[in-house]
Chains A and B, each alone.
Chain A
C-alpha cells in the first residue's frame, strides 16, 4: 500500500544567554565538569530560581520571528521525574500557559513554498549530562556533569504539517537560520544547541485520520533527522503491510546503525505530575519590553533574500548564498554600499572571500579584510586601474597584510597601463622583435594573437590593459 507520512517536530533551541535561566552561572560550552554550578543550579536545599530577563527577550524574539501570538501572561510549571542529571527532581518548564502559540514558518520544498504551523513555544531549563564509566559491571560508575543544568532552552513545537523527511530537513534548516539570524542561538548542532524530537506516523494515502505515532528522540543533525524519519517511515510501512500495528512509543535514533530502537512504550511513559511552579510568579511581559523586541527585530533570512534580489538585481542563487548568515549579508551590503556594483561585489564575496575563509577555516565574523578595503579593490578593477589577474594578487596581499589596495598597487607598481601611445610603442617593438610570428599571423595564423599578448604582458610586467592591448595589436599587426 502507499502511505503518506505525517511529521511534527519539537525543536529544542539553547538560548545564547551569558548566564543560566535561573541563576548567574555561565552557560559557556566545554568547561571542566561541575565548574559552572552554584547552589541554585545544583538544587541544594532552600534555593530559589530567579528568571533570566534576557532569556525571556530571546523567547519573545523567536516568537515574533515565527509570527506567533505572544501570551503576555505565561506560567512556569514543574515537570516532575527522577533522574541523576536533574538536580531538583523536577524540570522548570511551561505547560498549560506557554509564552507563545499559533505561529508559522514558510519553507522551500521541491514543490514550492509551504507553510508549517507552529503550535507553541515554551521556555524551560536544560538538564545536566551523565557520563557513564567504562569499568566492569560492578565497578563502573556514572558521573553527573551539571554545567548544562539550568541552561535556558525554548522548545518550538510544530503542527503535524510536515509530510516527508525532506520537508523536515527544510523546516529544521529554516528554523535554524531564524534562531541564528535573530541572535537567540549559536546554532551549534554538535554541541546540542539546536536539536529535535520528531513525531512520525504514516497513514494510507487519502485517509484523514492520523496513524499512531512514534516519538524519535534527540536528533542533532540534518542528516540524522532525514535518516531517522526515512527509517521510521519504512519500519511503520512494513509493519502495516504485514498486517501489524504501530504502537505509540518513544524511540531512540541510533545514528551509528541508522535505525530507531524502542525506548519506552506509552504505558511506561512518565506521569510528570505537572503543577504551577510556586517559586516563580507568572511571567507577565510588560508592553514596553514587547515593543522593544519588535522594534529591534532583525530582518529575517527570507525577507533579506528577497530584498537582495529586488534591490541589487543579483541572481537568486547569489542572494541565497549571501544571506546564509546575517554576518555575511551585512558584509556584502557594506561592500556594495561603497562600490555601488552589486554583481561584481557579489562575485568577490562569494568567490575569493568565501574561498580564503574556508581555506583558513574562519568565519566571516573574523574576516581580517574589512568590507571597505575589499570595496576599494572591486572599484579599482571596475575602473580598469588593474586587471583581474592582478586583482587576485592584490586580494591575497590586502587580506594578509591589512594594507589598502592602492598601497599594494602603488608599492608593486601594478597600475594598469591603458595609455594607447605608450602601449603602441611597446607593441611595435615586440612586433619588430618577432618578425616570423608577425608574418605567420598576417598569413592567417590568428591564434598567434595570444603569443603577442603574452609577450606584451611580460614586457609590461602584467600592467598592460589586456582589452586595449588586444584592440591595438589587431591594428598594428595588420601593418
Chain B
C-alpha cells in the first residue's frame, strides 16, 4: 500500500487504524525521495537516521495510545532555514555549508513534541532571497509538474517536496510571498499566518519584521492541522503574539454563506497572465455560488508595495546577515591574516550574487544621507499599505486575489533580470507588509499543465476565516486532487 500521496489527516487516520506504522510510512517517503529527488532536488539534507528514530518513537506512542496528536508519526519536511539540533542547517548558502546548530528552532521543538517525523531539510533560495529557488547554493529545485519550470521560491523545496509526494507536508517561511508563490507554482496549499502568530526563534532571519513560518500542504485541512501545532506565543520571541490559539480545524467546514469577499481592483491589472485572470475570476464565481457576497474594495497604495518591500526587507537583511563574518561559525576564508581581508574574502565567497545585491541595497537605504529618503519613507508608506487593508476589512471579511501574476516561469528565464523576478511577488508582498494572514490554494491548470494559485487574505489573527473560505472553495472544486506526473 502506497501512502506517499496521503494528506496528513489521511495518513494520521491510517496510522491510528494500524494500517501502516510510522516506520513503514517513513521508509516509503525515504524511498520516494531516493527515487525522485535527483530530479526535483527538493532536499538539501535528508536526515534518514533521525527520521527513523523519530518514527520508532512515534510508533511507541501510537501503540501505547498515549500522547497522540494528528501529527504523531507523520513524516514532514522543513525548509532548511529552521535550525535543527545536530542536523546541518545551510539556509541555502555556502556560508553555512557545515553549520550544525546546537539548538532546535521553537517550531522544530513543537513538531517533535507533537510526534512528527522530520525527513529532512528543504532546498530554498539562499537566505530566502528569491522567487524561484534558483538562488540556492545547492542547485535549483525543479517544478515537479514540469522540470523545465521553477517551483517558485524561496520555499521552492518545501512546495516541490509536497507536490512530488516526498513528504506528507512541509514547513516554509514567507517574507514577501515565499510560501504562497511556490505553493501556487507547485499546486499545493501554502499558508502565511499573521506576523507573530508562529515563533521565529531558531528561524534564520532574512527580514525580521516580515518573516513568518507557515505550512505547505496537500489540502486546506492539513494547513489547519499544522497551524494548530505551530501557532502560539513563545517567550523566546518578543514579537510573537500572546493571544489564544483557536482550534483551526473546528470552524473549517462552516461554509462561506454570508461571508463578504473583497475583490481589490488594483490586483486585476494589465500584465496579468490571461489564464490566471480567468482561473481566479471563475474561482470568485465558485465562492459566490457557495453563498459568499462579492464586494469591490480598494487598496490604493498597492503600486508602492514592491518598492517598499525591497527597501524594508533589504535594510533588515543587510543587518541580519552581518553576523556571517567568519569569526564564530560557518565559512571562514583568511587569506592574509588581516581582519578586513578575512571579512571580505569570507563574505565574497560565502554569499551568492542575489544576497550580495540585497545587502548592498539595504546598506545603501540605511546610510546617512539616504535614510530619510529611502528606509524612513518606505516605513511610512508601509503604514499606509497597512491602513489600506484595515479600511478594506471594514467592508469585507476576506480579500481574494491571484497569488502570482503567472504560472511558474521557466528555469533561467528571469535570473538575469532581478526586477522582473521581483515582480513575481507583486500580489503577495502587501500581505507581509501589513502583517496579515494569507493562503494560496490551487484554482486551475494552465494549458501547459502548470498550476495556478488563488490567494485569500484575512484580518490580522483571523486565520480561521481565511481557512474556512479556502476550505469552502477546495470542497467545491477538484484542483487540489490534481497531481504532477513525475
Q: Does A244 contact B (CB under 8 A)?
A: no
| Contacting residues, chain A, for B337 (C-beta < 8 A) | 138
Contact (A89, B202) CB under 8 Å given A80-B319, A271-B368, A280-B238: no
Q: Does B397 contact A (CB under 8 A)?
A: no
Contact A281 B239 (CB under 8 A): yes
Digitize B198-241: 1 where CB-to-A-CB distance is under 8 Å, 0 elsewhere. Answer: 00111111011100000000000000000000000001111100
Interface size on B, residues (CB 8 A): 45
- Contact residues of A: prevailing secondary structure: loop
Q: Does A278 contact B (CB under 8 A)?
A: yes
Which of A42, A44, A49, A274 gathers most chain B CB within 10 Å?
Answer: A44
Contact A49 B238 (CB under 8 A): yes
| Contacting residues, chain A, for B208 (C-beta < 8 A) | 278-279
Contact (A84, B89) CB under 8 Å given A45-B83, A46-B205, A90-B322: no
Q: For the complex, what is the distance from the CA of A47 to the CA of B101, rounded to whole Å? A: 11
Contact B366 A89 (CB under 8 A): no
In the assembled complex, how far is the CB of residue A393 from the closest CB belonging to chain B, in whole angstroms?
Answer: 60
Contact A281 B238 (CB under 8 A): yes
Contact of B325 among A39, A82, A138, A273 (CB under 8 A): A82
Contact (A51, B238) CB under 8 Å given A87-B328, A273-B367, A278-B208: yes
Contact (A45, B322) CB under 8 Å given A271-B367, A279-B238: no
| Contacting residues, chain A, for B82 (C-beta < 8 A) | 46
Digitize A73-96: 1 where CB-to-B-CB distance is under 8 Å, 0 elsewhere. Answer: 000001010101001111000000
Contact (A46, B101) CB under 8 Å given A80-B319, A90-B319, A275-B375: yes
| Contacting residues, chain B, for A47 (C-beta < 8 A) | 201-202
Interface residues of B in 330-372 (CB under 8 A from A): 337, 339, 343, 363, 366-368, 371
Which of A43, A49, A273 gathers most chain B CB within 10 Å?
Answer: A273
Contact B236 A46 (CB under 8 A): no
Digitize B52-86: 1 where CB-to-A-CB distance is under 8 Å, 0 elsewhere. Answer: 00000000000000000000000000000111000
In the assembled complex, how far is the CB of residue B382 from the closest CB belonging to chain A, in whole angstroms?
Answer: 12
Contact A89 B323 (CB under 8 A): yes
Interface residues of B in 150-196 (CB under 8 A from A): none
Contact A89 B319 (CB under 8 A): yes
Contact B366 A273 (CB under 8 A): yes
Contact of B319 among A39, A78, A144, A281 (CB under 8 A): A78
Contact (A42, B328) CB under 8 Å given A48-B200, A48-B201, A138-B337: yes
Interface residues of A in 132-158 (CB under 8 A from B): 138, 142, 144
Contact A88 B323 (CB under 8 A): yes
Q: Does A50 contact B (CB under 8 A)?
A: yes
In the assembled complex, how far is the CB of residue A88 from the closest CB belonging to chain B, in whole angstroms?
Answer: 5
Q: For the complex, what is the distance from the CA of A305 to the CA of B18, rounded to whole Å? A: 80
Contact B101 A44 (CB under 8 A): yes
Interface residues of A in 254-289 (CB under 8 A from B): 271, 273-275, 278-281
Q: For the complex, what is the distance from the CA of A82 to the CA of B101, rounded to whole Å? A: 23
Digitize A27-62: 1 where CB-to-B-CB distance is under 8 Å, 0 elsewhere. Answer: 000000000000100111111111100000000000
Interface residues of B in 104-141 (CB under 8 A from A): 105
Q: For the complex, what is the distance from the CA of A44 to the CA of B203, rounded to whole Å? A: 11
Contact B96 A45 (CB under 8 A): yes
| Contacting residues, chain B, for A138 (C-beta < 8 A) | 337
Contact (A279, B239) CB under 8 Å given A46-B105, A46-B201: yes
| Contacting residues, chain B, for A281 (C-beta < 8 A) | 238-239
Which of B82, B208, B238 gathers most chain A CB within 10 Å?
Answer: B238
Residue of A nearest to B330 (CB): A45
Q: For the complex, what is the distance from the CA of A144 to the CA of B91, rounded to whole Å? A: 26
In the assembled complex, how far is the CB of residue B259 from the closest CB belonging to chain A, in whole angstroms?
Answer: 32
| Contacting residues, chain A, for B105 (C-beta < 8 A) | 46
| Contacting residues, chain B, for A45 (C-beta < 8 A) | 83, 89, 91, 96, 99, 101, 204-205, 323
In the assembled complex, how far is the CB of residue A42 from the closest CB belonging to chain B, in whole angstroms?
Answer: 6
| Contacting residues, chain A, for B204 (C-beta < 8 A) | 45-46
Contact B238 A84 (CB under 8 A): no
Q: Does B252 contact A (CB under 8 A)?
A: no
Contact A144 B327 (CB under 8 A): yes
Q: For the complex, what is the distance from the CA of A468 to the CA of B165, rounded to whole Å? A: 109
Q: For the complex, what is the distance from the CA of A42 to the CA of B330, rounded to whole Å? A: 13
| Contacting residues, chain A, for B203 (C-beta < 8 A) | 46
| Contacting residues, chain A, for B366 (C-beta < 8 A) | 80, 273-275
| Contacting residues, chain A, for B103 (C-beta < 8 A) | 39, 44
Q: For the complex, what is the distance from the CA of A165 to the CA of B162, rounded to whole Å? A: 70
Q: For the complex, what is the distance from the CA of A280 to the CA of B240, rounded to whole Å? A: 10
Which of B82, B89, B101 gathers most chain A CB within 10 Å?
Answer: B101
Q: For the complex, what is the distance from the CA of A39 to the CA of B329, rounded to whole Å? A: 11
Q: For the complex, what is the distance from the CA of A274 to the CA of B375, rounded to whole Å? A: 11
Contact of A44 among B81, B325, B329 (CB under 8 A): B329
| Contacting residues, chain B, for A78 (C-beta < 8 A) | 319
In the assembled complex, how far is the CB of residue B278 from the closest CB belonging to chain A, in whole angstroms?
Answer: 39
Contact B238 A273 (CB under 8 A): no
Interface residues of A in 341-370 (CB under 8 A from B): none
Contact A273 B343 (CB under 8 A): no
Contact B323 A43 (CB under 8 A): yes
Q: For the complex, what is the distance from the CA of A123 to the CA of B470, rounded to whole Å? A: 46
Contact (A88, B238) CB under 8 Å given A45-B83, A144-B327, A279-B208: no
Q: For the complex, what is the distance from the CA of A44 to the CA of B85, rounded to whole Å? A: 13
Q: For the complex, what is the distance from the CA of A138 to the CA of B99, rounded to whole Å? A: 28
In the assembled complex, how far is the CB of residue A20 from the closest CB belonging to chain B, in whole angstroms?
Answer: 14
Residue of A nearest to B321 (CB): A89
Contact A84 B201 (CB under 8 A): no
Contact B315 A275 (CB under 8 A): yes
Digitize B284-324: 1 where CB-to-A-CB distance is under 8 Å, 0 elsewhere. Answer: 00000000000000000000000000000001101101110
| Contacting residues, chain A, for B201 (C-beta < 8 A) | 46-48
Q: For the complex, what is the distance from the CA of A61 to the CA of B343, rounded to whole Å? A: 41
Q: For the complex, what is the distance from the CA of A271 to the CA of B201, rounded to whole Å? A: 29
Residue of A nearest to B210 (CB): A278
Digitize A85-115: 1 where CB-to-B-CB distance is under 8 Å, 0 elsewhere. Answer: 0011110000000000000000000000000
| Contacting residues, chain B, for A80 (C-beta < 8 A) | 318-319, 322, 366
Q: Does B102 contact A (CB under 8 A)?
A: yes
Q: For the complex, what is the distance from the CA of A42 to the CA of B99, rounded to whole Å? A: 14
Contact A275 B101 (CB under 8 A): no
| Contacting residues, chain A, for B315 (C-beta < 8 A) | 275
Residue of A nearest to B366 (CB): A273
In the assembled complex, how far is the CB of residue B86 from the closest CB belonging to chain A, in whole angstroms?
Answer: 14
Contact A48 B209 (CB under 8 A): no
Residue of B nearest to A273 (CB): B366
Which of B239, B327, B366 gathers most chain A CB within 10 Å?
Answer: B327
Contact (A88, B322) CB under 8 Å given A47-B202, A48-B236: yes
Contact A84 B327 (CB under 8 A): yes
| Contacting residues, chain B, for A280 (C-beta < 8 A) | 238-239
| Contacting residues, chain B, for A51 (C-beta < 8 A) | 238
Interface residues of A in 119-177 (CB under 8 A from B): 138, 142, 144
Besides the known contacts A88-B323, A273-B366, A275-B371, 18 further A-B residue pairs in the complex with CB atoms under 8 A apart:
A44-B83, A44-B323, A45-B89, A46-B81, A47-B201, A50-B235, A82-B343, A84-B339, A87-B328, A89-B319, A89-B323, A89-B325, A90-B322, A273-B371, A275-B375, A278-B207, A278-B208, A281-B238
Q: List 17 A-B contacts (CB under 8 A).
A: A39-B101, A39-B102, A45-B83, A45-B96, A45-B101, A45-B204, A47-B201, A49-B238, A78-B319, A84-B325, A84-B339, A138-B337, A273-B363, A273-B366, A275-B315, A278-B239, A280-B238
Sorted from nearest, which 8 A-B pairs have the closest CB atoms? A89-B322, A278-B208, A273-B366, A278-B209, A45-B204, A46-B202, A46-B204, A43-B323
